[in-house]
Amino acid sequence: MAVQHLKYTTVTSHKELEQILLLQQKNLTTSISSEEKKKEGFVTVEHDFDILKRMNDQQPHIIAKNQDKVVGYTLCMTSDFGNDIEVLKPMFKKIENSLNPTNKYIVMGQVCIDKEYRGQGVFRGLYQQMKLELQKKYDLLITEVAANNTRSLGAHNAIGFKDLIVYESDKIKWHLIYWSWE
């Protein structure tokens, strides 16, 4: 695998958004076995092209590309989208109730890496690019991870994310975590 030749950048085309959706479909909790979920992690939220594009128009998503193929992504979501995705409404309410109103934050709406590229630093590369692109505009990067997604929780903790709060919603335990760029 030619990981050293990956390019970390922002989304600039409809083709890249479509590739994000294809990668997302392959890794949804409903698309993979319970063994794979435990070993590899999973994504929970399914986006459609319209919302993905509107989110990108506000704050471009970060992608890892091998030539023309998107092999990983982190989605950028401003607080304007707090009411647009049903499953994320509780998270945005928790953020509003837990943060100092002076904190400028961006939500990392989802991270996913193609199976062939996992364990090779792509996760860290995506987050480093995200920090590079966004740290002048935002103080904090916030996301949430299901408590049973242990691979993802461990990876986020390794980068420097800390718990803001842990809560339960729809019988799922969530870690609402943040990475401070101040």
CB distance 161 to 178 below 8 Å: yes
Q: Which domains does the chain have, with CATH numbers?
A: 3-180 (3.40.630.30)
What percent of the chain has a predicted confidence (pLDDT) above 90? 57
Please write the tens of the pLDDT for every residue from 6-32: 999 999 999 999 999 999 888 766 665
pLDDT at 42 over 80: no
Looking at the DSSP bridge assignments, the partners of residue 142 are 107, 178
Q: How far apart are CA 103 and CA 167, in angstroms?
A: 21
For residue 21, the one-letter residue type is L
Q: How far apart are CA 8 and CA 128, in angstroms?
A: 9
CB distance 105 to 180 below 8 Å: no
| pLDDT for position 2 | 45
Quote the pTM value.
0.87
| pLDDT for position 72 | 95
Those residues whose C-beta lies under 8 Å from the C-beta of residue 95, and which sit 6 or more positions away, are 79, 105, 107, 142, 164, 176
Residues 43, 150, 3: CA angle, nearest 5 degrees: 65
